[in-house]
Amino acid sequence: MIVADDSALIRDGLARLLLDEDIDVAARLPDATELLERVSELRPDAVIVDVRMPPSFRTEGLEAAIDVRREHPDTAVLVLSQHIETRYAIELLADGAAGVGYLLKDRVTELDEFLDALRRVVAGGTAIDPAVVTRLVERPRRNDPMERLSEREREVLALMAEGHSNAAIAERLVVNVRTAESHVGSILTKLDLLPDAPIDRRVRAVVLWLQAHPEPDET
């Protein structure tokens, strides 16, 4: 595990938390400049990267994370952001959703959630912050296809977008797995999405679908 964050407090705190969970932190970096190099060198299971880091405090962390994804697809990346920006999540998912996480930084104060997301990412899954998903799901749409979904189906859709598996969805909604599976199948059919895709492709498809409706008139 490599932790890259300009705030020593968070960097060290995070490292301590991870160590408490018996997760080894191989390197702690105050900025993103050496990230790719250290990843090549240390080959960690995952990197936790802050979006905004020195020197310019823009999106160095995000870009470094994307680079790591490209160079080392087997290294999971978990990007922490101070702001909810769906755009960053989309950029991150551009090359595939396997082993990718985008969380609001505040999540580290909800340790169970955070560790769950981290584990999911390390396991090759996806973790998208619920706040981002909420924004995508609640986004106003013209001739809203979401109208076709039931209340419960929308909850399931949000959990799918966050990166949860059918089993995890069933657990969270306190239903049995078959019920969750049938909800998932129904949603994917209604939204014309791939019903049998692996979980990471499913997340990506769902997020992109959410993001693309309505289609912006970009010029």
Partner 1 sequence: MVTAHVRYALALALTSACCVMAVVAAVAWSDDQVGLATPALFTIDELDRLDLGSEALDDQMRWSAEIVNGDRRMTEADRAARFAPPFAESLTAASFNAEIDALNAELGEARFVRIIDVEDQIVAFLAATDAGPALTIAFELDDDGRFTFWAGVDSTTGARLPGWASGLALAAAWTATAASVAAWWASARRQAWVLLALAIAATSLVLVLAPSTVLYALGRTVPFVAIPLATWLLLSPARSAVRRHAAVWSWVAAAGFGAATFALDPRAIGHPSLPALADEGSATLRATLALAAICTAVAFSVVVAEHGRLLRPHADRTVGWSRPARAAAAVVATLGIVVAIVTAIDVVDGDAQFAGDVGRGAALVLLCAIPPVALFRAVSARWDRPELAGLVIELEAGAASLDHAVSAAIGGPVAVLRSPDGKLLVDSAGEVVDPESLGAGVELVRVQSDGALVGALTCPTDATERRRLEAIAAAVGLALRIELLHEQVAEQLAEVRASRARIVEASDAARRQIERNLHDGAQQRLVGLGMLLQAARRRSSRTADDELTALLDTATDEVRTSIAEIRSVSRGAPPPLLTERGLSAAVGALAERAPIPVDIAAPAQRLPDRVETTAFYVVAEGLTNVAKHSHASNAAVSIVRDDGYAVVRIVDDGRGGARSGPGTGLEGLEDRVAALGGELIVTSGDGGTTLEATLPCG
Sketch the per residue contact string, 187 through 216, with partner 1: x for CB under 8 A, - otherwise.
---------------------------x-x
Collapsed DSSP state (helix, strand, coil) of residue 50? strand
Identity of the residue, 86 or 165, whose beta carbon is nearer to partner 1 in the bound complex: 86
Is 141 an interacting residue with respect to partner 1 (CB under 8 A)? yes
The kind and range of the H/E element at 27 are strand 27-29
Collapsed DSSP state (helix, strand, coil) of residue 28? strand
Identity of the residue, 88 or 184, whose beta carbon is nearer to partner 1 in the bound complex: 88
Determine the size of the site formed for partner 1 (CB under 8 A): 35
In whole angstroms, the minimum distance from the beta carbon of 160 to partner 1 comes to 19
Is 106 an interacting residue with respect to partner 1 (CB under 8 A)? yes
Write the DSSP string, 101-156: EEEEGGGGGSHHHHHHHHHHHHTT-EEE-HHHHHHHHH---TT-GGGGS-HHHHHH
Among 7-15, 64-72, 147-155, 197-205, the segment contacting partner 1 (CB under 8 A): 7-15
Judged on CB neighbours under 10 Å (0-12, 13-18, 19+), 156 is buried
Is 58 an interacting residue with respect to partner 1 (CB under 8 A)? yes
Judged on CB neighbours under 10 Å (0-12, 13-18, 19+), 74 is exposed
Interacting residue ranges for partner 1, rule: CB under 8 A: 6-7, 9-10, 13-14, 16-17, 20, 52, 57-59, 82-83, 85-87, 105-106, 108-111, 135-136, 139-142, 214, 216-219
